[in-house]
Structures are given as structure tokens and as C-alpha cells.
Amino acid sequence: MAGTPSGLTAADRVLVAGASGETGHELLSVLRPTDLTVRATTQSYANVDTLERLGADEVIVADFFQSADAVAAVEDCDVVYCALGTPAGVRHTLGGKLVDRTGVINLITAAMGADVDYFVHESAIGVGSSKTGMALPARLLIRGSLRAKQDAETALRRSGLGHTIIRPGKLTNAPPSDDPVVGEGGDSVSGSIPRADVARLMAAAPFTPDARDRTLEVVCRRGLNESPRNLVDIDWAFDRLEEEEREQTEGDQTRR
């Protein structure tokens, strides 16, 4: 489905890359009630049943270090939601070959080749110009993954794909706040945000004209660490997701 400079008008199949992670699970929950066909990826066959229970219509076992797996994952998809990330460990500090860089760039390249309409990438506060949003000790501890995420962000901006980069603050498993604080320009906000809020913003981004081709720092109001700066007012297309949900519910009722 063709996108426009004002945002996507339609989409059929979407990919959730990194669906077996915690943000990926939240994304599946947000997308499940819609009439979108949701394809999910995981590194392990052991996660397939879980992802199907969470709402994935299709599940692909993929290793994004392999370019061919990235190509297979994006085939026939209109939107890519990228929630890939390196599990906690020493590699966050040392860097090297990380899925945050190599895997994401393989996915971006595959999306370009498949004429994907929109790419939403979960990055992190602390990357690039947003480094003031994360305390120095924390940045040093995960400096390897922050550099990898910065390289992935750069690749996405240069790709020509319609995109939104979401840089969340410290991720929590708290209930959704539905009160995100959105900044732009790096030195904007710091604090924490529930993964459920991040998933909702990511899901709405392709259909939100104000979010197109922007890099946004996000926390929730109750998680703010200090006074925010450079805030932006974005009219997130949550109503689009709710409309998709209503249409799906009405269709289910009609079939009964």
C-alpha cells in the first residue's frame, strides 16, 4: 500500500521484528485487535506458540545476522516495526557484532529492497544527541549498544524509507500511563516509560503524519526526571488503531 508524505493511508501486513522481547509482546497486544495481518519474528522455535497466542497471524524464525532471513521476514509487508535489541550482558559494554547494528541494518536493507512503505525503529534515550537524557554511569555501562543503535539510526535516516525513530527512556513493565511526553532534538526529556506506552506510540507512528521522518525522545509524565525541553505536540493516530479494532469487532459479530 503506497504511503504519502502525510503518512500511510492503508496497510495490510505488518512485521514485528523482535516480537519475543518485552516490547515486542506489547506491540502484539496493541496490534492484535486490528484487522492488520501481523507477522512476528523470533530467534527460537520454542517461542512460536507463545507469539501465536499473543496474536501473531504468522511467525517466522529468523536470525537477522543473516541477510536472507531479513529478506524473507519483510516479504509482502507494508510496515516494519523493529524492536530488535541485545539481551543484557557484557556485549552492551564491549559492543562488537550486535543485532542492534548488524541485524537492524540488514532489516533496513531488506525493507528497501521490498519497497516497504514505513519503518518504525525502537532506539533509546542515550543514543547520539540524546545522551544528556541518560546519566553518564549508565551510558558507560551500555556504551557498546548505544553506538550500535546510533549506527542503525543513521542507516535508517539515509535509507529513503518513510520512518519514525522512537527513543524511549528507561523501560518499565508498569501499566500504561497513556500520558507520553515527547521531545525532539536530543536534549529534551529524561526519565522512564512503560513498554506498553512505547508499543502504542510505535503502532500509531506509520499512520501519524506528524511523526514521519522524525527522531523522538519519549518518557511518561509520571516518569520525568527533570523539566522537559524542546517538547513537540504530535497528534498520534490512536483513533486509527481504535477504528481498526472496531471494524474487526463488528466483522466478528456479523459472522456470528
Using CA atoms, how far apart are residues 220 and 182, in angstroms rounded to an integer?
8
Q: How much is the pLDDT for 243?
A: 61
Burial 4-21 (b: 16+ CB within 10 A, else e): eeebbeebebbbbbbbbb
Residue segments in the chain with a per-residue pLDDT below the cut of 50: 1-5, 90-94, 252-256
Q: What is the dihedral of CA 214, 220, 221, 226, to 10 degrees?
A: -80
Q: How much is the pLDDT for 137?
A: 52
Using CA atoms, how far apart are residues 148 and 105, in angstroms rounded to an integer?
10
Q: How much is the pLDDT for 4?
A: 35
Q: How much is the pLDDT for 256?
A: 47
Question: Could you tell me if 216 and 44 are in contact, meaning their C-beta atoms sit under 8 angstroms apart?
Answer: no
Sort strands 13-17 and 79-82 into parallel, antiparallel or unpaired.
parallel
Using CA atoms, how far apart are residues 241 and 81, in angstroms rounded to an integer?
15
Nearest to 172 by CA among 138, 189, 197, 190: 197
pTM: predicted TM-score of the whole model, two decimal places: 0.88
Q: How much is the pLDDT for 3?
A: 35
Q: How much is the pLDDT for 140?
A: 54
Nearest to 93 by CA among 124, 139, 151: 139
Q: How much is the pLDDT for 94?
A: 47
Q: How much is the pLDDT for 178?
A: 86
The helix/strand/coil state of 38 is strand
pLDDT tens per residue, range 141-179: 567 788 899 999 999 999 999 999 999 999 999 999 988
